[in-house]
Structure 1
Amino acid sequence: MSIEPRATRITRVAQIGTGYMGGGIAQSLALAGNDVWLADADAESTRRNYERLLKEAQLFSAQGLFPADAADVLEQRFHPASSIEEAVADVEFVEEAVFEDPQVKKDVLSRVEKAVQPGTIVGTNTSTIPVKVLAEAFEDPSLFLTVHFSNPAPFIPGVELVTGEATNPAVLPIIDELLTRAGRRGAQVADVPGFVLNRLQYVLLKEAMTVVEEGVATAADVDTIVSTTFGFRLPFFGPFAIADMAGLDVYAKGFAVLEGHFGERLSAPQNLTDLVAAGKFGTKTGSGFLELEPEKLAELIDYRNRAYKKMAELLEDLGPSPLQS
């Protein structure tokens, strides 16, 4: 029988691992109004990272990235602990962000489970390790799940949520509410290695590296193409919406050309060919991977055009990155 969460709304958090990722998560949750207990490998490391996070907040405030009083808020909300056990003793949620090694994480998570109050939700910030692997650290994993923030944590809104076979579904709305208060958007994905974010990211990186190895383009030119073409669209639309707007019949023809040169690894997926065979070409037919009411098409196209124009203006306002200058 699953244990029920001890609170329906989280206000007290322990951040275990306060380096670059963990520290950014702690900042985000504290600025959202939560008290956050900090713990690292030892008390000295915790204190050092605590001081770094306050200085970093001052810098971010000066740059207009954090509210003007962020450092003061964090100083009030942060509670450096002398140990993991002290940090997790009386919180409703623990987020672990230690070294990306299964055994290291298991050791930490086992210590956490022994020290928390019954009903405390425990999350891990792993980017690739399945819940079922890390759940082995628990005697009862019913309140354990992956809560995967992205780098840099203070500024990237998406968070992957991954539950295991034993995870009590009651934890999801509680974590989702916490993320919403912190200006984040959670998306639930299945418990497979790499989840969605890194599975897609690694495939793109691997193919980009292959393109460079084959002499098709330089690394710099690949980055330019990605950031100024399909990557330019991604802040607003995911790959399915982009494909639907371009036309699934167009994509099917494109896959045929790619398959002719690269073979089966770039053949059209079955779900695409099934939709095209059924006459579902995307937004122009009102149905594709996503459904769109006909009266919404003009509204979508208008939004798309305004979004891309605003993105171009933003990039012009920011100026070129240090890599381009």
Structure 2
Amino acid sequence: MTHTIAIVGSGYMGGGIAQVLALAGNQVYLADISLEVTEKNYQRLIAESRDFVAAGLFAEGSTALLEANLHVAATVEDAVAGADFIEEAVPEVLAIKHDILARISAAARPEAIIGSNTSTISIGDMASAVIHPERFLGVHFSNPSPFIPGVEVIPHTGTAADVVDRAREIVHSTGKQTAVVKDVTGFVLNRLQYALFHEATQLVEEGVATPDDIDTLVRTTFGFRLPIFGPFAIADMAGLDVYNFCYASLQTGFPERFATPKILTDLVDAGKLGTKSGGGFLDVPAERTADLIAYRNKAYVAMQKLIDDLGPAPLH
């Protein structure tokens, strides 16, 4: 099923989201602060698509599909008037968000879903500007949106359950995956990303390692696993008793920073040690352990082959 979609904000993020949704067969209408800006960004998206096709990043025929499905709207109101789903992708300033969301919700059909691509601003704080706020939620794509497969979906406390389901269906129709998280400061993606970055900067400031060496370790050790497994799957496979011991060791130098999470201690105390015991964070059945290990090994070899084929990133 295809939809009529409006993207308000045609810059780098909004334009990329528009490409994703238009390539999935939806009729997508772009709007920005002026018709001139929107037309300029539309032409950039078409030219960019040609480059992506030539590089093998977009499928053959993608540019023609974009030209058929992606449209320039003269105003925000024109873009949203007939839309089933509207994605706001304007600058990360609450006052600007409030102003544009008020315009969107006044001009949109009352049943139209309104999403925001914010990565930092509370969805609940923005919802106050929306008429019928039960149809409003965060739909957070990552940069570059045509190529990053995950989307963070953030309902506020008043978002209707069916709105969450419908928004996820639209995102899933593009081939992307969603995770639904609560409307808390930083949501999930950025809390995790910035927690890692904070610890990395501490290590540099303390003279423990250089940025280059830290990047090398992240890429080639635990970060190497992350495209295949998330942190809970990795912990289950390592053994939660091992994690519990490592926390105790880390506390000898950093007692507060690395306090053992209660949820981890509770599982260990209950004898749930991860895949070795058949129960943990993800509760993988013990009889699936051999299959999981075989998949893990195959995935890591394939990952290394991909990296070898790509060659080193042009950072130096």
| TM-score between both structures, scaled by the size of structure 2 | 0.98
Q: Indicate conservation of the 8 Å contact 1:10/1:93, yes or no.
A: no
Distance 2:130 2:32 in 1: 20
Identify the residue that residue 305 of structure 1 maps to in structure 2. Answer: 297
8 Å CA contact retained: 1:10, 1:92: no
Say which of 109, 115, 119 aligns to 1:123: 115
CA distance in 2, matches of 1:292, 1:170: 30
Equivalent in the alignment of 2:36: 44
The answer as to 2:186 corresponding to 1:194 is yes
1:249–1:276 Cα contact (<8 Å) kept:
yes
Residues 210-239 of structure 1: per-residue CA shift (max 9 Å, x gap): 111111111111111111111110111100
Query: 1:34 aligned to 26, 48, 55, which one?
Result: 26
Report the CA distance between 1:264 and its aligned residue: 1.4
Question: Scaled by the length of structure 1, what TM-score is found?
Answer: 0.96
The unaligned stretches of length 5 or more in structure 2 are none
Aligned counterpart for 2:152 among listed residues 134, 149, 160 = 160
In the alignment, structure 1 segments of 5+ residues that lack a partner are 1-8
Q: Which has the higher contact order (CA 8 A, sep 6+)?
A: 1
- Corresponding residue number in structure 1 for 2:227: 235
Show CA shifts across 1:153-199 (max 9, x none). 00011111111121111112212221121011111001101110001
Instruction: List 4+ stretches of structure 1 deviating above 3 A.
Output: none
1:136 aligns with 2:99: no
Paired with 1:166 and 1:281, the residues of 2 have a C-alpha distance of 38
Q: Please report how far the alpha carbon of residue 139 of structure 1 lies from its aligned counterpart in structure 2 after TM superposition.
A: 3.2
Within 5 A, what are the aligned runs for 1:284-323? 284-323=276-315
C-alpha separation in 2, matches of 1:254 and 1:10: 50
Match of 2:69 in 1: 77
SS in 2 for 1:148: strand
Please state whether the residue corresponding to 2:251 is helix, strand or coil. helix
Q: Please provide the CA RMSD for this pair.
A: 0.9
Which residue of 2 is the match for residue 271 of structure 1? 263
Shift in Å, 1:114? 0.5
Aligned partner (choices 141, 154, 162) of residue 149 of structure 1: 141
Deviation for aligned residue 1:66:
0.3
Q: Deviations over 1:225-262 (max 9, x none)?
A: 11111111011110000000001111111111111101
Is the Cα contact below 8 Å between 1:143 and 1:171 reproduced in 2? yes
Per the alignment, residue 3 of structure 1 pairs with: none
Q: Deviations over 1:288-325 (max 9, x none)?
A: 111111211100000000000000000000011101x5
User: What's the secondary structure of 1:154's corresponding residue?
Assistant: coil
